[in-house]
Amino acid sequence: MPSLKEVADRVNFLLSKGDGERKCHFGLVDVEAKERIANPKRRTRFIKEMEPEEYSEWNAEWDRYVDAAGNPVIARSIMLRLLKQLPEASIKRLAEDEPSKPTSN
């Protein structure tokens, strides 16, 4: 993790190379961590590790729902309702039909 001085040096270098109006990210790790803990925007992240192929498929489906719903909040609500509708017995039956894959939890 670079120090604030190292970041300042990097900023000066980047400013010397071009347009100072370009977008960038800037922040202090400890300040950002405190903000995440306080969570003033009341946001959380949904993070699951998966295989590269699964990741691509999940993102494609996620985008499909958001595009169709026209709003990510509505799309997430629809996805959750659909997941809740599938009974546990059906999930178990579907799991039995799946070829064996390594699990990464």
**Residue 69: inside a domain:** yes
Number of domains comprising the chain = 1
Residue 74 covered by a domain:
yes
pLDDT value at position 74?
Answer: 97
Whether 105 is covered by a domain: the verdict is no
Q: Are 59 and 40 in contact (CB under 8 A)?
A: no
With respect to residue 63, please indicate whether it lies within any of the assigned structural domains.
Answer: yes
CA distance 33 to 26: 13
Q: Is residue 45 part of a domain?
A: no
Give per-residue burial for 23-40: e unless 16+ CB within 10 Å, then b: eeeeeeeeeeeeeeeeee
What per-residue confidence (pLDDT) applies to 61? Answer: 96
**In a domain? residue 60:** yes
Residue 102: per-residue pLDDT? 57
Give pLDDT < 70 ranges for the chain: 101-105
Within-domain flag for 21:
no
Examine residue 31 and state whether it is found in any structural domain, yes or no.
Answer: no
Specify the pLDDT at position 98: 85
Question: How far apart are alpha carbons 38 and 26 in whole angstroms?
Answer: 19
Prediction pTM value: 0.55
- pLDDT reported for residue 64: 96
Which range marks the domain in which residue 84 is found?
A: 52-96
